[in-house]
Structure 1
Amino acid sequence: MNIENIIQPFIKKFPGDFSGNPMQRNTPKVLFSTIAPAGFDQPRLIAFNRKLSEEIGLGTFTETDLNFLVGNQLPENIKTYATAYAGHQFGNWAGQLGDGRAILAGEITGDSGERNEIQWKGAGATPYSRHADGRAVLRSSVREYLMSEAMFHLGIPTTRALSLAFTGEEVVRDMMYNGNPELEKGAVVIRTAESFLRFGHFELMSAQQEYKTLHELADFTIENYYKEITSEGEQKYKDFFEKVCRRTADLMVEWYRVGFVHGVMNTDNMSVLGLTIDYGPYSMMDEYDLNFTPNTTDLPGRRYAFGKQGQVSQWNLWQLANALHPLIKDEKFLEEILNDYGSYFWETHDRMLCRKFGFDQLLTSDEKFFTSWQGLMQDLQLDYTLFFNRLENYDESTELKKQFENASYTFLNDEDLTRLQEFIENYQHRLEKNIISREKSLELMARTNPKFILRNYLLYQCIEEINAGKTEMLEKLTRALEHPYQELYPEFSSKRPSGYDDISGCSTLSCSS
């Protein structure tokens, strides 16, 4: 790989701590600390994303590159570092945080000029590890590697995964925080993104009243990642904030489109580029439930439940607005942008739902239709993905129960089937209001509704197999997630088996790595 081409403009631009001390500590007035990866004696490659490597300009993989993939034997031109940021966690100010398990190598420019940061996750402790070891275990690493790539192929803005490797170590983790720690296999993921800048980077500088650095950070972000902004002075920062709001709203709508639940939408897990970042206790939606949260830490309040993600993203943007207030003194402007967020989000959301149903336009009557649909989904415990697949292939000549019973997590009685039939009739009447043909309508549905989603029980099976030294499931899932709008493997196009309902890692997860 062409790792010698990695450059480090971030640490050349901002104040940092060059002590290389991995011990946890506060690092006021700086945005990063240099730190070397821990290094691992017996690494073993599990997966390498060849297509991504070529796309971002790293080229092909050779056996000698394994050391780089786990942070060993780095080139002299690379000074590795972790960034500091702050954040609100579960609605509470948490103060200084930072990259506790992530270490940045720098960035590389691809053949077409795009820039990507390269980052290890699980390569050792940093000053921001908060008494943790900075390691990662196999299960969380597999989940990040596969899900970030699944989201990319679904067409959703996201960080991506370059490699997955065993470290050769065993790591102690209490997976469910219940006082039962166990030894697990350690692993490292390399992930990439145009930038890993978060809301929390801006919150930290603002909270510390480091306004000069805040100003420079905003300029750096605009100049590198929002090049379409050409305004000057305060208007430049206004345009920046407005665009961050739009990108965030668009991202939330995309999550709703495919049924993705992040699980831990703290402000430090929000990208200022509108990317899905930090794949921890996430889940794809099985049975439709607006109150579903996959994160055991989020119980019983369910702050980050599926149906609240739009609302929470707006709350997080309020915190970003507070952080940017030293640059944008116009409080009325900030309030207007944030108040308009809801209107933009819901209109974009409802237009997305129109595409899922194959409607070519949003009508005023659709609000009532969508509300009726949501009630039906929840009451009949219908699978979010399978419902739309069944709707796309609905056949009047086939018994209704036969078409939908395998898309429900409950027994469909006569009353349920009557209700479902009434909905189908209303849906068909709504389709008659389309201007486009039914053929075009079905094409719209096919482009919008995935045939394959990376369900937690499939990830669980894959992790179990890798632990047992097998990679067939990993390879099969990788092929499937690269073509989510096709049905490559019919066995993956089924609801979660009941045997996985109460298994940790399938229905619910913790924030533990």
Structure 2
Amino acid sequence: MNIKNIQQPFIKIFPGDFSGNTMQRNTPKVLFSTVEPAGFDHPKLIAFNEKLSEEMGLGKFEEKDLNFLVGTQLPENVKTYSTAYAGHQFGNWAGQLGDGRAILAGEIKNSKGEKNEIQWKGAGATPYSRHADGRAVLRSSVREYLMSEAMFHLGVPTTRALSLTFTGEDVVRDIMYSGNPELEKGAVVIRTAESFLRFGHFELMSAQQEYKTLQELVDFTIENYFKEITSEGVQKYKDFFENVGRRTADLMVEWYRVGFVHGVMNTDNMSILGLTIDYGPYSMMDEYDLNFTPNTTDLPGRRYAFGKQGQISQWNLWQLANALHPLIKDEKFLEDILNDYGSYFWESHDRMLCRKFGFDQLLTSDEKFFTSWQSLMQDLQLDYTLFFNELEKYDDQKDLRFQFENVSYTFLNDEKISKLEDFMKEYQSRLEKNIISREKSLELMHKANPKFILRNYLLYQCIEEINEGKTDMLHKLTHALENPYHTIYPEFSAKRPSGYDDISGCSMLSCSS
């Protein structure tokens, strides 16, 4: 791997704390602290993303690179660091936070001029670890490695994963916060993104009234990641906020398209670039439920439930607006942008649903149709992904019970079949309003509806196998997630087996996941 070309523009521009002290503490008036990874003596490679490495300009993996993958051996020009940010967690101001188990090496530029930051997750404590050890366990590392790549291949903006490596040490974790901690295998993921800047970075500087640094941070972000913004003065900051809002709304729509539930949409987990970031207690949707949250910590309020993600993203943008107000100083503009967010989001969301159903245009009557569909999905406990897969194959000459019995998580009695029949008639009637042919309609559906999603029970199986020293499932899942719009392994394109309903890690997870 070509790691000697790692650059550090962020660390050169912003003030930092260079003490190298990993003890947990506040670091006022700075955006980062230099910190060295813990170092691990017996790492073992689990997976390496060769395609991504080549795309980034790092080249092929060699055995000598193994120590770099866990942060033990670094290029001479690299001074590793973690960043400070703030945030609202579950609706409450949490003050200073930061990269508690993430350490940045810098960024690498490929031959096309594209830049990607390189970050270890699980490589040791930082000043922002809040009394934690900065380590990561195998299960959470596998989940992040596979799911971030799955989202990329689904076409959803996301961070990505370069490598997954055993550290050779055990880590103590209480997976369900039940007072029963256990030893688990430690691991490190190298994740990459154009930038890991979050809403919380801007919130921190604003809350500390470091307005000069806040302005420098926004200028840095625009110059490096928002090339489309060419305005000057206050208008530049207005355009920045509006652009962040659009990217955020577009991301939410993509989450809804594929059935992704993040589980912990705190402002410190929101990417300023509109990327999916921080894969913790997430889940892909099995049975359709607007009230589903995969995060046990989110109970009983279900703040981050599937159906609330659009609303919460808007709430988070309100907090970003408050942080940027010292630069924009125009309450009406900010309110207008935030009020328009809902209209933009819902129109984009409904146009996305049109593609999933194979409709060539959004009609005013579609709102009623979509409401009817949501009611059907929840009443019959239909699998979100498999429902649309069956819809693509729908044949009005076949028995509906036979077509959809493997899509429902409940028994389809006569009453439920009658509801399904009524909906299918409604759907057929709506299809007749298309201008395009049925072939073109199906093309829309094929592009919008994945055949494979990375369900939690599959991840659970994979983690169990890796713990036993097996990697067959890992390789199969990797192949499947790289081809999500094709049925590579039919056994993976099926609803969650009932035997996994009550197993921790297969439906709901804690934040420690």
TM-score, normalization by structure 2: 1.00
- Equivalent residue for 1:422? 422
- Equivalent residue for 2:440? 440
Task: Map 1:396-411 to 2 at 5 A.
Answer: 396-411=396-411
Amino acid at match of 1:221: T
- Equivalent residue for 1:94? 94
Task: Map 1:97-496 to 2 at 5 A.
Answer: 97-496=97-496
Amino acid at match of 2:460: Y
Task: Quote the Cα distance in structure 2 between the aligned partners of 1:227 and 1:355.
Answer: 30
Amino acid at match of 1:410: T
Task: Quote the Cα distance in structure 2 between the aligned partners of 1:111 and 1:47.
Answer: 25
Task: Quote the Cα distance in structure 2 between the aligned partners of 1:325 and 1:26.
Answer: 24
The answer to whether residue 71 in structure 2 is matched with residue 74 in structure 1 is no
| Number of residue-to-residue matches in the alignment | 513
Amino acid at match of 1:11: I
Task: Quote the Cα distance in structure 2 between the aligned partners of 1:264 and 1:48.
Answer: 27
Deviation at residue 110 of structure 1 after TM alignment: 1.0
Q: Secondary structure at the match of 2:117?
A: strand
Q: Secondary structure at the match of 2:328?
A: coil
Task: Quote the Cα distance in structure 1 between the aligned partners of 2:194 and 2:54.
Answer: 15
Amino acid at match of 2:455: R
| More displaced 10-residue stretch of structure 1: 358-367 or 391-400 | 391-400
1:186-244 Cα deviation digits (max 9, x unpaired): 00000000000000000000000000000000000000000110100000000000000
Amino acid at match of 1:83: T
Amino acid at match of 1:474: L
Task: Quote the Cα distance in structure 2 between the aligned partners of 1:459 and 1:111.
Answer: 35
Task: Quote the Cα distance in structure 2 between the aligned partners of 1:403 and 1:21.
Answer: 61
Task: Quote the Cα distance in structure 2 between the aligned partners of 1:397 and 1:353.
Answer: 25
Amino acid at match of 1:222: I
Task: Quote the Cα distance in structure 2 between the aligned partners of 1:333 and 1:73.
Answer: 49
Amino acid at match of 2:389: N
Q: Secondary structure at the match of 1:78?
A: coil
The answer to whether residue 488 in structure 2 is matched with residue 512 in structure 1 is no
1:353-397 Cα deviation digits (max 9, x unpaired): 000000000000000000000000000000000000000001122
1:428-447 Cα deviation digits (max 9, x unpaired): 01000000000000011000
Deviation at residue 15 of structure 1 after TM alignment: 0.6
Amino acid at match of 1:265: M
| More displaced 10-residue stretch of structure 1: 396-405 or 26-35 | 396-405
Task: Quote the Cα distance in structure 2 between the aligned partners of 1:490 and 1:393.
Answer: 15
Task: Quote the Cα distance in structure 1 between the aligned partners of 2:187 and 2:395.
Answer: 47
Task: Quote the Cα distance in structure 2 between the aligned partners of 1:2 and 1:363.
Answer: 53
1:76-119 Cα deviation digits (max 9, x unpaired): 10000000000000000000000000000000001111100000
Deviation at residue 280 of structure 1 after TM alignment: 0.1
1:138-157 Cα deviation digits (max 9, x unpaired): 00000000000000000000
Task: Quote the Cα distance in structure 1 between the aligned partners of 2:57 and 2:210.
Answer: 36
1:116-168 Cα deviation digits (max 9, x unpaired): 00000000000000000000000000000000000000000000000000000
Amino acid at match of 2:299: L
Task: Quote the Cα distance in structure 2 between the aligned partners of 1:112 and 1:501.
Answer: 46
Amino acid at match of 1:120: W
Moved >2 Å (runs of 4+): none
1:305-333 Cα deviation digits (max 9, x unpaired): 00000000000000000000010001100
Task: Quote the Cα distance in structure 2 between the aligned partners of 1:96 and 1:325.
Answer: 19
Q: Secondary structure at the match of 2:327?
A: coil
Q: Secondary structure at the match of 1:68?
A: helix
Amino acid at match of 1:154: L
Structural RMSD (CA): 0.4
Gaps of 5+ in 1: none
Amino acid at match of 2:372: S
- Equivalent residue for 2:19? 19
